[in-house]
Amino acid sequence: MSMGKSTTVTDELYAYMLAHNPPLDAVQRELVETTHRQLPEQARMQSAAEQGPLLAFLVRLIGARHIVEIGTFTGFSALSMAQALPADGRLITCDVSQEWTAYAREAWAKAGVADRVELRIGPALDTLRAMPAEPHIDFAYVDADKENYVPYWEELVPRMRQGGVIAADNVFWGGGVTDQDATGAAAAIKEFNDRVTADARMESVMIPVADGMTLSRKR
């Protein structure tokens, strides 16, 4: 017998949830549709529709002004967070693809938030290591190559200000984290989840949003 109380999210219930969340605006909807049309094989990499409003909510909740994102793809999550920033806020987002992020740049410009977003093309670890070492980041979103989640975490945590939040996506990895013989990305996510749970510098909760998300607050 299951010990959990989670309700199975059917297609009907998922639609109901979206209908009771803040709606995506025209630019967000267009970006989601463009991503699925132009990049059908990679579109699953895009943050889920319910995650955009959640990320924006968290940015506003903690009064974030300085955000770092690891993994831009076509820019939906960065767009959602940038729209929640104050006019003088700044979001640095990291990716290695000029092709995918071209869609992001176009969307940010259409939404009028391009001046809040700085895209850095190149290995995200290099970008993180070049940042000031002292705590200065209010919010971070990690949704990139799973094998580097632990190194990303170790670079981000010392740079988070007290009360700052790290959100990490795909912590369920489609259920693969429960496989005792997991390899590849599933094994990397398992290692990351264990590291986060044991890290006394942060307080963390794992929640069943999309493919699992962990929210961690700097003590």
pLDDT tens digit sequence for 103-157: 999 999 999 999 999 999 999 999 999 999 999 999 999 999 999 999 999 999 9
Residue 2 lies in a domain: no
CA dist., res. 36 & res. 42, Å (int)? 8
pLDDT of 92 reads: 98
Residue 32 tokens, joined: 């989601």
pLDDT of 119 reads: 98
Q: Tell me, what CATH number does 86's domain have?
A: 3.40.50.150
Domain count within the chain: 1
What is the pLDDT of the chain when averaged over all its residues?
A: 96
CA dist., res. 139 & res. 57, Å (int)? 12
Domain limits at 146?
A: 11-218
Q: How many residues does the chain have?
A: 219
Residue 94 lies in a domain: yes
- Residues 41-87: pLDDT tens digits? 999 999 999 999 999 999 999 999 999 999 999 999 999 999 999 99
pLDDT of 2 reads: 61
Residue 3 lies in a domain: no
Res. 196: pLDDT tops 70: yes
Find how far residue 115's CA is from the centre of its chain.
Answer: 20
Select from 44, 41, 57, 148 the least CA-distant residue to 94.
148
Residue 165 lies in a domain: yes
Res. 1: pLDDT tops 70: no
Residue 54 lies in a domain: yes
Residue 5 lies in a domain: no
